[in-house]
Amino acid sequence: MPPQDSRLSRVLVRTVVGVGLWVVGLGLLAAILGSLGWWTPWLVLPLATVLAVSLGIALTRLPLPPRNHRQAPTLLLVATCLAFGVWAGATHAEQVLPRRDSASNFQAAISLATTHTRVVGIEPWTVGLPQGLSMPGLTLASPAFFAVGDAAHPAIQPQFVVGPAAIYSLGDWLGGPTAIFWIPGFIGALSLLALGLLVSRFLGTWWGAVAAALTGLSFPILHIARSTYSEPLALLTLLAGLLALTLAIDSDRDLDEASTGSSPGPSRSVFLWGLTAGALIGGTAFVRIDGLRETILLLVVAGLGLAQGRRWPRPLLFGAGISTLLAFAAALWLSNQYVGSIARSLIPLVAIGVAMALVIWASLRLRHRGWGLPSRYAARLPAALTVAAALGVILLASRPLWMTVRQDPNDPGARYVAGMQARQGLPIDGGRTYAEQTVNWLSWWLGPITLTLAAATFVVLVHRATRAWVEGREPLPSWTAPLIVGAGSTILTLWRPGITPDHPWAERRLVIALPFAIVLAVVVLRWVWGRHWPIGPSLAPRALTVLLLFGCIGFLVKGTAPLATARVEVGSVAAVEQVCASLEPEDVVLMVDSRAANEWVQVVRGQCGRAALATTSALRRDPSALADTIAAMAELVKVNKQRLVLLSADDAAPQFGSDWRELVDVMVQESEHALEHRPDRLDPLPIRVRLATP
């Protein structure tokens, strides 16, 4: 009899795939309803419930290819993921001031939940009529929130794609900020579950639990699960998509072995799992536009499958194509300012995808006509690609010895890096991106044992996969798909992380590379555990496995322990509530210093529900012009019986205005800012707010 999954494992597989599809579906729903101003709880919550129930029923009827997932280790996997979710939720951050992407997502969620629309129109009369918005040095914009339209029809467009705001807005309706802060931990736990189930299909359930536990112990994964980042959502949809893809490949293989190619039931299963995998991986762009990278890597996977005449590549490509097109249509419609700002990164990626598709198409056409690599070269291909993989690993790891990556020193990110270097006593070279250090970033959290095991496993698996291809084995092992996507994404990230190297925030770029390295290390542990040595004690392989495992755990714990219970920016929510409570409905709040303009504009507009504007840096550098603008703005708002309120958030006392009232003066803790070492502490962050009326 074929192996049979436990009932629990079948429920878990369908759960993680279903939640992943639910996240993608809500992203699409938010794009539609959010553009119409219909994102309201009375409409969205019932629709979200119907979507969840429908997905559950559909997945329950979709057969799973059998694997021997035993009950006890499956329970251990569930317990591990639940513990991680509780850990992340109980130590959640309170990042509400838009200093980082997590707080930007939080404020976008609040805006969507309270205004019911994605792009929020501003009534000119609430901010001094069009004349007020036309004044030089005044703006509705703030970091992560673009001002669009003109002075007569102004609006605010949040920076990122709509998916994270949609998911996190549900928490605001159900329980306010606290409920929002628990969502990333819950999603992170499901991501670990998806990873464990994926590994279980290749290595067995015990080892799936080990992979999930090791990944959950790593600080970067915990870090993103504590705050409202987009990465937990993207990691869930990607891992659920890879899990669905392995189910499609295994169903295809089982269909061959059962010789039931004419039966519509099994063929339908292959088609639907392939379609689901494509929809999930392509749909990742609804929550994180960088998901396009993994979608492009699917072209390689599909090309290999098409070359072998498999059934799953076409539905995979169809699902990925449709979901990617919908996600990018939503991004261009509702986040066009953001897409334009990152076009320099997106356009080359799209070009690579188009070129890759053309090369794969041409290769398949030539193969169909009987053309192929000559046998003498094909025989050498496994060795050649193995050497290339090994050299690639050495190249990435050795980059600090022979390369220093730089960017334009006039870029805003470069100026930020220069400031960090000055504060940390480093040579001032703001153009440095530190991209050559990315393998060291991994080493900070994983340690040399895990990285060495992962590198060796990667080289061996490249050799095995290439040899299987050259020898014409059909089909390729299902682990080839996650290997290609994981390796491709990791290599591209390590080569060009594309993020300001401010740690631990830069660790968000490691959310695929880090689990991938851990899984590769677990492959070695599983192999050593199952060996039978011709000489020596019979328990020697298992003793070595335990020794290596504890070595891996030791470095993970060393990196995570200093911040295991750290809670970042706790007290920020109370500070915001205090500011909101002090404002009257008719107040128009003007941010008069740089920190107020960077952190409080959208908070006052979104959470407090009050009209808000910011002064520009050019205006703030001219005290006389600033005073004249404040006086003119105060007169304009009086026309509508409003009151102008000045807000200062810098530590220094304002040098203008009168009757400044200190409203908030608290000290919260933020993560350490580090460039060249692993962050291991929290630093004080003052939050001080003063109000005045001119």
- Helix residue ranges, H only, 204-291: 205-217, 219-225, 231-258, 264-283
- Helix residue ranges, H only, 404-437: 412-423
pLDDT confidence bin for 2, thresholds 50/70/90: very low
Query: Which tens digits make up the pLDDT trace of 18-74?
Result: 999 999 999 999 999 999 999 999 999 999 999 999 999 999 999 888 766 667 789
Query: Which tens digits make up the pLDDT trace of 78-112?
Result: 999 999 999 999 999 999 999 989 999 999 999 99
The answer for 329, left when phi > 0, alpha when psi is -120 to 50, beta otherwise, is alpha
Query: Which tens digits make up the pLDDT trace of 613-667?
Result: 999 999 999 989 999 999 999 999 998 889 999 999 987 767 666 688 999 999 9
DSSP symbol at 663? E
Residue type, 678: R
Residue type, 583: L
Query: Which tens digits make up the pLDDT trace of 492-513?
Result: 999 999 999 999 999 999 999 9
Helix axes 480-495, 231-258, angle to 10 degrees: 150
Q: Please report, for residues 214, 450, 536, the alpha-carbon distance to residue 514 in angstroms, rounded to integers and kept in the order given.
A: 10, 10, 35
DSSP symbol at 674? B
**pLDDT beyond 90 at 410:** no
| Rounded mean pLDDT, 567-571 | 96
What dihedral do alpha carbons 566, 683, 442, 341 form, nearest 10°? 110
Q: Please report, for residues 301, 461, 469, the alpha-carbon distance to residue 472 in angstroms, rounded to integers and kept in the order given.
A: 16, 17, 5
pTM: 0.96
- Let me know: does 532 contact 193? Beta carbons within 8 Å: no
What dihedral do alpha carbons 274, 278, 281, 285 form, nearest 10°? -160
Contacting residues for 154 by C-beta, under 8 A, at least 6 apart: 121, 122, 124, 127, 133, 140, 147, 148
Task: Residue 533: count other Cβ atoms within 10 Å of its Cβ.
Answer: 11
Distance CA 457, CA 359 (A): 28
